[in-house]
Amino acid sequence: MDTSCFLDPDATAPKTQRKKKAVHTDNRRDRSDEIDPAAFAVAIVLATSIGGAARAAGVSRTLIYPWLDVPGGIPTFKIGKRRLVRIEALREFLLRREQEAQQ
């Protein structure tokens, strides 16, 4: 089988005929993508999706579903078709579970 079609033409050329690759010599950092810390505010998330609540609690979505909307569980609410969990409600639930585990 002829493998010459898979080879880089420069790799098979004599060293004197190989193309030289451009070397970037400018050591200055490109600062165009940096954000001025004074120019932005941190967004405060008040509610998240079921998946987001599961990630925040460090568990899977499958594990968090039995805890939703049951007495002593995590209360949820809907906006349109999205079911959301208040971050504060998730925090309170986790604190209650931690206190129950310590007793």
Residue whose pair of structure tokens reads 């499958």 in the numeric block: 62
**How many structural domains are present in the chain?**
1
In whole angstroms, what is the distance from residue 61 CA to residue 55 CA? 8
Q: Which domain holds residue 77?
A: 42-102
**Angle, helices 50-57/87-102, rounded to nearest 10 degrees:** 40
pLDDT tens-digit map of 23-34: 555 556 655 566
Q: Does the reported pTM lie above 0.85?
A: no
Let me know if residue 64 belongs to a domain.
Answer: yes
Let me know if residue 2 belongs to a domain.
Answer: no
Let me know if residue 93 belongs to a domain.
Answer: yes
Tell which wins on pLDDT, 70 or 38.
70
Let me know if residue 9 belongs to a domain.
Answer: no
